[in-house]
Amino acid sequence: SRLRRIGMMLSSCCCPAPLALVDVKGFDPSDVTVTMRDGKVCVSAERKEEHNTCTGRACSYRRYTKEFCLPPSCCDKEVTYSV
pLDDT in tens, 27-83: 888 898 888 888 888 889 999 988 888 888 888 899 989 888 877 777 667 777 777
Integer angstrom CA distances of residue 31 from 8, 37, 38, 63, 65: 12, 20, 23, 10, 12
Decide if 76 is inside a domain.
Answer: no
Q: How far is CA 24 from the centre of its chain?
A: 6
State pTM to two decimals.
0.67
Question: What CATH number does the domain containing 63 carry?
Answer: 2.60.40.790
Q: Domain of 42?
A: 29-69
Decide if 23 is inside a domain.
Answer: no
Decide if 40 is inside a domain.
Answer: yes
Nearest to 15 by CA among 70, 83, 68: 70
Decide if 15 is inside a domain.
Answer: no
Decide if 38 is inside a domain.
Answer: yes
The Cα–Cα gap between 46 and 28 comes to 9
**Residue range 20-24: mean pLDDT, rounded:** 79
12 pLDDT higher than 60: no
Decide if 59 is inside a domain.
Answer: yes
14 pLDDT higher than 80: no
Q: Number of structural domains, the chain?
A: 1
24 pLDDT higher than 80: yes
